[in-house]
Structure 1
Amino acid sequence: MEQFASLIAASINAGTPLLLAALGLLINERAGVLNLGAEGMMLVAAIAGFAVGYTTHSPLLGFLAGALSGVLMAALFSWLALVLATNQVATGLALSIFGAGLSAFIGQRFVGLALPSQTLAIPVLKDIPFIGQALFQQHWMSYLALLLCAAIGWFIYRTRAGLVLRAVGESPESAHALGYPVRWIRFAALLFGGACCGLAGAYLSLVYTPMWVEGLVSGRGWIALALTAFATWRPARVLLGALLFGGVTILQFYLQGMGVTVPSQILSMLPYVATIVVLALISRNPDWIRLNMPASLGKPFKPDAS
């Protein structure tokens, strides 16, 4: 039971950056914008967060730097996709490539450096058998991600602003005709998504693996993108999927520790194989995806044309 509790705790730790990034991308896509630049944003945020955290010895400043760098990357994407009306798919891919190169260049002097590990044990609750070890010895950012998930669910389905956001994602022409500033709403959604991806990247370099190496994100941005489709753009399902993919990610280390005679390369492939399998299963029912996906996802909007 102790080993199982440890597996749950590690799964939450591994799923936290996926949850943060996927929640931000969910808001983007609910507004009708497809941003494939999550990987690049997370990489830039990871090196920015680590550099500031290592230099100032303040993890909080590191998280703020990560969030700010994510916002700046999202602002760049917004200018290209919303103002210049570039293709969202091509722009997102370019942002990922740009972020990978920029993070590698900035991070040269930080390679091999490390930060002390950070954990938070909640008094009293941490002493509860099994549950305390599994749930109440996480970093504070993991709890913030859970609160953010609940807050986004409430915002989308219980507030007027959330209704407007969904309306923009479904029919920007109708929302514009009613007087809503579609571009500004999408711009705000993209900045929020960038901040979430920034926090996810900073979490990876400050908490999950408190060091910097080139390519630290290792495809988690792409997994977060797949996670939004897997969750059919619903926050509660994003949480479930993040924990699932986090468990698959951490399972490889437990299997290796148990002496399972499987090549390590195959075990490292497990999270990405799981992503492909899930997407393949979802794609078997295109009507289901079409009913849940925002109708204007990935389509540019020009007010002058309406």
Structure 2
Amino acid sequence: MNETDIGLWGVPLAILGGAIRVSTPFLLVSVGECLTERSGRINLGLEGTLVFGAMSGYAIAYQTGSPWLGVIAAAIAGAAFGLAHGWMCKLPRVNDIAIGISLMILGMGLAFFFGKPYIQPVAPDLPSIPFGWWSDLPQVQAALRINVLFLLAIIVAILMARMFRSTRIGLMVRVVGDSTDAARALGFHPDRVRLYSTAVGGALAGVGGAYLSLYYPGSWNEGISSGQGLMAVALVIFARWNPVSCIWAALLFGGAGALGPALQSIGVTQGYYLFYAAPYVLTLGVLIATSSTTRDMAGAPGALSITK
């Protein structure tokens, strides 16, 4: 046996490393959507925001030579989509779900149109931290090489949970999300709160897109997202609108997405493509479980359209 061959231990190790890598965009998008939905609005346009953020981040990183400027550009692009969604949804007789789907199509179309010149050029990658420095095994070192945006997403999730629990801003968002009338009675401005919440949620989705194009898989192409923006909406429901629970839910979805490559790494080649469907099967299962008529949507904001 080669000293670098760790046998079957390579499967859980590959799943761990893959879960961390794959879960990062899920985590960023779901934490942002958690804020949006806690304010009483659902944004189904996150897929378009994610793809446009990936394109804009890659383009700016290539043009400037700085991946961090690419991340900032992706956040600004995502916030712009969030502001557009929030502004249109406050108009009379406008459905937030329909607006979200429209912006999803718009974002993907704009990304495909403006991103064609950047399919071949190579932009600089985002840095990562080698937490596996203590091991001589390359598999351990690769699995524990963690991107900075993953750590940033965890910090944002923890701070957001604390905000909901202990700050006036968090109270404002929760009241607006539970009852528009009660929020107005307390002197809050529901439309303004939802506008800002949707903008922040869009900015985080844009950063998630920049992670895809600037780190993993680390290139720009038109199929880069694979539906992760839409799956993140199901992840928020699975996490019961709790930002900290989004961390574990994102790792679960990420682990499901890493299952196929992990099996391939130990030589399982027959039928392993079926395991690539694991995240989609998991999403379908979450949607079926949460749509049961015998189970209420515990933790769902009262003003959210899917609860009515």
TM-score (norm 1): 0.90
Decide which of 31, 34, 40 is 2:48's aligned counterpart: 40
- 2:188 aligned with 1:180: yes
Structure 1 residue 134, shift from structure 2 partner: 8.0
**In 1, Cα distance between equivalents of 2:116 and 2:28:** 26
Contact 2:231 2:283 in 1 (8 A): yes
**Residues 1:280 and 1:57: Cα distance change in structure 2 (over 3 Å):** same
**Residues 1:3 and 1:134: Cα distance change in structure 2 (over 3 Å):** farther
Structure 2 residue aligned with 1:273: 281
Quote the sequence identity (%).
Answer: 34
Structure 1 residue 209, shift from structure 2 partner: 1.4
Structure 2 residue aligned with 1:258: 266
In terms of mean alpha carbon deviation, does 9-18 or 81-90 score higher? Answer: 81-90
For 1:214, what is the secondary structure of its paired residue? Answer: coil
Structure 2 residue aligned with 1:96: 104
Structure 1 residue 29, shift from structure 2 partner: 0.4
Contact 2:52 2:77 in 1 (8 A): yes
Structure 1 residue aligned with 2:28: 20
- 2:71 aligned with 1:63: yes
Structure 2 residue aligned with 1:226: 234
For 2:295, what is the secondary structure of its paired residue? Answer: helix
**Residues 1:119 and 1:157: Cα distance change in structure 2 (over 3 Å):** same
Q: Deviations over 1:87-141 (max 9, x none)?
A: 1111001111111111110111111333354442357x742799x8488521111
Runs of 4+ in structure 1 deviating by more than 6 angstroms, as ranges, are: none
For 1:217, what is the secondary structure of its paired residue? Answer: coil
- 2:164 aligned with 1:148: no
Contact 1:172 1:182 in 2 (8 A): yes
For 2:128, what is the secondary structure of its paired residue? Answer: coil
Decide which of 296, 302, 305 is 2:303's aligned counterpart: 296
Q: Please provide the CA RMSD for this pair.
A: 2.3
**In 2, Cα distance between equivalents of 1:75 and 1:85:** 18
**Residues 1:267 and 1:116: Cα distance change in structure 2 (over 3 Å):** farther
For 1:97, what is the secondary structure of its paired residue? Answer: helix
* Unmatched runs of 5 consecutive residues or more in structure 1: 300-306
Contact 1:9 1:133 in 2 (8 A): no
**Residues 1:134 and 1:288: Cα distance change in structure 2 (over 3 Å):** farther
Aligned length: 297
For 2:90, what is the secondary structure of its paired residue? Answer: helix
Structure 1 residue 258, shift from structure 2 partner: 2.5
Contact 1:100 1:215 in 2 (8 A): no
In terms of mean alpha carbon deviation, does 175-184 or 134-143 score higher? Answer: 134-143
**Residues 1:257 and 1:5: Cα distance change in structure 2 (over 3 Å):** closer
**Residues 1:129 and 1:242: Cα distance change in structure 2 (over 3 Å):** farther
Decide which of 168, 184, 189 is 2:176's aligned counterpart: 168
**In 2, Cα distance between equivalents of 1:275 and 1:141:** 24
Contact 2:67 2:124 in 1 (8 A): no
**In 1, Cα distance between equivalents of 2:68 and 2:301:** 35
* Unmatched runs of 5 consecutive residues or more in structure 2: 1-8
- 2:10 aligned with 1:11: no
